[in-house]
Amino acid sequence: MLEVFRALAEPSRLQIIDLLLSEPLPVGSVAGRLGIRQPQASKHLRALADAGLLEVQHDAQRRIYALRAQPFQQLDQWLERYRNLFEGQFERLDRVLEELQAGKSKKEKRRLPRRRPRS
């Protein structure tokens, strides 16, 4: 998993992941969409593939890069532990805020002057 984090630490690689989310692409398309040279794109794609995030399909002389689902599923499972922790904290915070709001509403009701009935 550490290899995946190292690969994703580079901002250009995160952009590549975002590009490949919609469709598999050849190196030239990746380079063109990111506005980088093809050797740079190849270097980043190779690092992502070495980390197991991409699969490479050969189409004649072109290499088409696509995302692999498994590493992202593993990341999601790892993050789930932390997601549960934070969701629990947010739920506790919601309860505290609701209690504070309920207390505030009671105080406001007590402060409102009572109207006298009209004669």
Most confident of 1-5, 68-72, 106-110: 68-72
- What is the rounded distance in angstroms from the CA atom of residue 115 to the CA atom of residue 81? 55
Enumerate the H helices of 51-112 as residue ranges.
69-111
Pairing relationship of beta strands 54-59 and 62-67 according to DSSP bridges = antiparallel
| Mean pLDDT in residue range 69-94 | 86
- What is the rounded distance in angstroms from the CA atom of residue 27 to the CA atom of residue 40? 10
Mean pLDDT, all residues of the chain: 87
- What is the rounded distance in angstroms from the CA atom of residue 15 to the CA atom of residue 19? 6
Say if residue 119's pLDDT is above 60: no
Q: Which tens digits make up the pLDDT trace of 13-44? A: 999 999 999 999 999 999 999 999 999 999 99
Task: List b or e across 41-67, with b for residues whose CB sees 16 or more CB atoms inside 10 angstroms.
Answer: bbebbebbbebebbeeeeeeeebbbeb
Say what the pTM is.
0.69
Residue 110 has what pLDDT? 65
On whether the CB atoms of residues 52 and 38 are closer than 8 A, the answer is no
Share of the chain above pLDDT 70, in %: 87
Say if residue 104's pLDDT is above 80: no
| Mean pLDDT in residue range 42-58 | 95
Say if residue 81's pLDDT is above 80: yes
Say if residue 114's pLDDT is above 90: no
Closest CA to 48 of 94, 8, 75, 19: 8
Q: What angle do CA 100, 104, 109 make, to 5 degrees?
A: 150
